[in-house]
Structure 1
Amino acid sequence: MKTIGLIGGMSWESTAEYYRLLNERVRERLGGLHSAKCVLYSVDFAEIERLQVAGLWDEAGEVLADAARSLQAAGAGLLLICTNTMHKVADQVVAAVDIPLLHLADATASAVRTAGLRRVGLLGTAFTMEQDFYRDRVAGHGLEVLVPDTDDRAVVHRVIYEELCLGIVREESRAAYGEVISRLVASGAEGIILGCTEIELLISPEHSPVPVFATTRLHAEAAVDAAFASGR
């Protein structure tokens, strides 16, 4: 089993889910007391969030690139960026190391296609919903991506940063997300991508009339599969 390198802390709430899911997946696969071989570099999310808001993506990318170099030096055989939004700087991370990066959008799009769907709604931070770095990556797998309208995007983004990243889960926010999902479904979405790793703290399959694709879980499962694959 290759060692999985995790670039986490964005937020630590969802990174903790990554750690749990990776270990559960390995235990399911090998049984007994087996657990995942992994190393974690957890950044200070306040620093990253400040750079996001200021539009200083190259600077944010260098922070993650430094983390990637440290993980490679620590023995990681593959990398995960444990957040959807920061895949905006995935190319900087890839260029910094000699080990592969498992792109979260690819793992998610593969699951959507396996489910036989072609049109999906995307929930995430405003950066993920409004910029093309993530939507285009998913669309490159032959999928059509729908995003909420302006007001709904504002609600989804606010809940992520002001509640979920702080470990706050509110029923009224779950209801608000349910309304956003219903409007996406009415617009033709056959499934919903939970395109922010914290959203899974709020939304589960029972909260949606169509299938939901939990990106944290899908990414973790794909990482374990890759860790056991042949080759480096």
Structure 2
Amino acid sequence: MRKLGMIGGMSWVSTRSYYEQINRHVQKHKGSQASAPMLIESLDFSQLYRLDTDQDWEAAAAILIASAKRLEQAGAGMLMIGANSMHRVYREIEAEISIPMLHIAECVGERMAADGVKKAALIGTRNVMTGGFYRRRLVSHGVDLLPPDMDSMEAIDRIIYDDLIVGRATRNAERVFKTIITEQAQEGAQAIVLAATELEQVVDVDANVLPIYDSTRIHAQRGAEWILGED
């Protein structure tokens, strides 16, 4: 098996989910005693929390570039960033390392294209929902995205940053996202993209009013497939 590197800690809750899902996939294909060869660097999320200005993002890029270089030097053959929002600095990181990276939105877009999804809604933090860096990747795979739901952004950010990143999932949060998804279905969405790695805590990925494309699950599976040489 090949050794995968992951930049994590954004948040530790989603990194835990990545680690579990990748290992379960490897175990399923390699036997109950197998585990995934991985290098994980868990960053301090307090330095990367709610970035706003260009200077904030430049500082974040420097932190992630340094992490990526350490993982490459330690022997990782492929790199993943265990967060949606940090893919805003994907290109800056990619330019500084020689190993390939798995872009989370590319993985999601490829899956949606294979399933024939033509119109979807994107749910994530304000940075992801409004940023072209993520939306362009999905559109390039033929997915027409509904406009960002500006009315829900504050509530979504509050739930993600105040509750989900510390592993606190509430019934109220479940109700909020159920309402959002129902409204997006009424607007014509064929599917929902969960573009925050913590949202699986409050959204039923397998049983909902619309098909749910969980970015964490899809990204983790692709990482496991690379480890196994299935890519």
Give the TM-score category using the shorter length: over 0.9
In 2, distance between residues paired with 1:224 and 1:166? 25
1:229 Cα shift?
A: 2.8
1:226 Cα shift?
A: 1.9
Matched residue, 2:82: 82
Q: Which deviations, in whole Å up to 9, do the C-alpha atoms of 1:86-133 show, x marking residues without a partner? A: 000001111121100000001111111222211111000000001111
In 2, distance between residues paired with 1:119 and 1:151? 20
Matched residue, 1:177: 177
In 2, distance between residues paired with 1:182 and 1:230? 36
Any idea what SS the aligned residue of 1:49 has?
A: coil
Matched residue, 1:106: 106
> Which moves more between the two structures, 148-157 or 40-49?
148-157
Is the alpha carbon distance of 1:32 and 1:213 closer, same or farther for their aligned partners in structure 2, counting shifts above 3 Å?
Answer: same
Matched residue, 1:195: 195
1:227 Cα shift?
A: 2.4
Any idea what SS the aligned residue of 1:169 has?
A: coil
Matched residue, 2:150: 150
Matched residue, 2:115: 115
Structure 1 unaligned runs (5+)? Answer: none
Matched residue, 1:130: 130
Is the alpha carbon distance of 1:148 and 1:179 closer, same or farther for their aligned partners in structure 2, counting shifts above 3 Å?
Answer: farther
Q: Which deviations, in whole Å up to 9, do the C-alpha atoms of 1:204-227 show, x marking residues without a partner? A: 135620100111111011111122
Matched residue, 1:10: 10
In 2, distance between residues paired with 1:53 and 1:85? 12
Any idea what SS the aligned residue of 1:213 has?
A: strand
Count residues with an aligned counterpart.
230
In 1, distance between residues paired with 2:230 and 2:116? 28
Q: Which deviations, in whole Å up to 9, do the C-alpha atoms of 1:47-93 show, x marking residues without a partner? A: 0115x134421210110010000000111000000000000000111
Any idea what SS the aligned residue of 2:217 has?
A: helix
In 2, distance between residues paired with 1:147 and 1:182? 15
Amino acid at match of 2:209: P
Amino acid at match of 1:67: S
Amino acid at match of 1:197: T
Amino acid at match of 1:141: H
1:230 Cα shift?
A: 7.7
Any idea what SS the aligned residue of 1:205 has?
A: coil
Q: Which deviations, in whole Å up to 9, do the C-alpha atoms of 1:11-68 show, x marking residues without a partner? A: 0000000000111010011113011000001110010115x13442121011001000
Matched residue, 1:53: 52
Amino acid at match of 1:178: K
**Are the aligned partners of 1:4 and 1:39 in contact in 2 as well (CA < 8 Å)?**
yes
In 1, distance between residues paired with 2:45 and 2:172? 26
Q: Which deviations, in whole Å up to 9, do the C-alpha atoms of 1:167-224 show, x marking residues without a partner? A: 1101011101111111111111100000000001111135620100111111011111
Could you say what the CA RMSD is over the residues aligned between the two structures, in angstroms?
1.5
Matched residue, 1:205: 205
TM-score normalised according to structure 2 size: 0.95
Paired-residue identity, %:
33
